[in-house]
Structures are given as C-alpha cells and as structure tokens.
C-alpha cells in the first residue's frame, strides 16, 4: 500500500512539473522577410512576459507590423543614439489592447539591452501594452539609469533573439520616411514554439 502511494505521488509530481510554464518560452515572429525566433525570460521578467504571451496566445499580433526603425541616420535631434526595430499593434487593432502593465526595470530583472534583446516600448513607466522593439547592437542607454529616456527608468527588457538576427538587421535597412517604415513590414503572426 505504501509503495502505491509513493508511486502515485511521483506521478502527481511529474504531471505537475510537466504543466509548469517554461522559464524561457520560445516564440516565432513570422514576417514576409523571414522569421525571428526569441526566448523570453519569464523568471526574471514575469509581468512583461505574461503580458506579451497573452497577446500571442490570443492571436492579437496576427497582421500586426514592424513600423519603426531607429538607426544612426534618422535621429538628428537625439543626443543619445540607438538602433532598434519597433513593432506591435500601433497601426492595426488598437481596440484589442489590454490595460498597461507595471514597469519591470533592468535594475529589477538584470536583463540588459544587448544585441538582439526584445523590450517593451512605452512613454511613461507603467504605460506599456503591445508595442515592442528589438535592439540591434548593445544599447546600455536603454537600461535603468540610461539617458535615452529622461525619466532614467529605462525600458522593460524581457528576452532575446536566438535565431533570425539577420532578419532583424534586414528590417532595420528597409526604406523609411524618417523613422516610419515605408512600407511597414507585416507580421503575419507571432506564435508559440513550445
């Protein structure tokens, strides 16, 4: 009898372990220029990853777009230069946005804005919803205490590109009017890989 209880307990524990969310869920951003695969860090940035995955799991990013590129030639009024591609729902279904989330700073998470980091776009702290960007090169001025945003709070980094940085760089080089991609790069969908 005791042996059966022990076996049952092991089965329950194994099932429970199998049902836990991955610490680094993998997602695929599908574009007409190619796919970008990312690993998200839900252990260190749980609020930000949960928010992003909610949009992914409910299919909200279907027909979204990459619509903005920032590089050395198109930020003449910025003393702190960055290089990023930005995407999300800005030009699509804004009526499907969820409430803004708490701002998880890089000081809290330890996830720095390095080459290939994905992070949330925002205006004020606590205003991020569905807009995100991917760094091209190391961007320490986007971290907590950085000078790109006057409030010094930085941006909420939450994962990294593990495949497809060539696609990210290709998007950065696409024609733009100022910082607006012309035309925008359609995101066919963003899907889970796990």
Nearest-angstrom CA–CA distance, 88 and 67? 8
Average pLDDT over residues 133-156: 96
Q: What residue spans define the domains of the chain?
A: 22-192
C-alpha distance from residue 37 to each of 61, 66, 157, 191 (Å)? 15, 15, 16, 10
Indicate the average pLDDT of the chain: 89
Specify which residues 29 forms β-bridges with: 36, 190
| CA Rg value for the chain | 19
Average pLDDT over residues 143-169: 97
pLDDT at 94: 59
Say which residues have a Cβ less than 8 Å from residue 125's Cβ, sequence separation at least 6. Answer: 103, 151, 153
Q: Tens of pLDDT along 104-121?
A: 999 999 999 999 999 999
Q: 26-40, 90-104, 119-133: which range is least confident on average?
A: 90-104
pTM: 0.87
Nearest-angstrom CA–CA distance, 128 and 122? 5
Q: 16-20, 59-63, 96-100, 129-133: which range is least confident on average?
A: 16-20
Determine how many CB atoms are found less than 10 A away from the CB of residue 141: 17
Instruction: Assess whether pLDDT exceeds 50 at residue 13.
Output: no
Record: fold of 22-192: Cyclophilin (2.40.100)
Instruction: Assess whether pLDDT exceeds 80 at residue 18.
Output: no
Share of the chain above pLDDT 90, in %: 79
Instruction: Assess whether pLDDT exceeds 80 at residue 15.
Output: no
């Amino acid at each position: 009898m005791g042996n059966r209880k022990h076996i049952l307990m092991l089965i329950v524990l194994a099932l429970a372990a199998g049902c836990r969310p991955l610490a680094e869920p993998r997602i695929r951003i599908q574009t007409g220029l190619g796919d970008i695969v990312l690993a998200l860090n839900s252990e260190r940035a749980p609020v930000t990853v949960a928010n992003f995955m909610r949009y992914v799991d409910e299919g909200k990013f279907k027909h979204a777009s990459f619509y903005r590129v920032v590089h050395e030639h198109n930020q003449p009024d910025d003393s702190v230069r960055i290089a990023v591609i930005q995407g999300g729902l800005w030009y699509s279904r804004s009526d499907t946005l969820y409430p803004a989330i708490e701002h998880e700073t890089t000081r809290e998470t330890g996830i720095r804005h390095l080459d290939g980091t994905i992070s949330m776009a925002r205006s004020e702290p606590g205003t991020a919803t569905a807009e995100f960007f991917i760094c091209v090169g190391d961007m320490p001025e986007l971290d907590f205490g950085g000078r790109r945003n006057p409030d010094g709070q930085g941006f909420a980094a939450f994962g990294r590109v593990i495949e497809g940085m060539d696609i990210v760089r290709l998007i950065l080089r696409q024609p733009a009017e100022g910082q607006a991609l012309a035309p925008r790069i359609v995101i066919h969908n963003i899907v889970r890989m796990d």
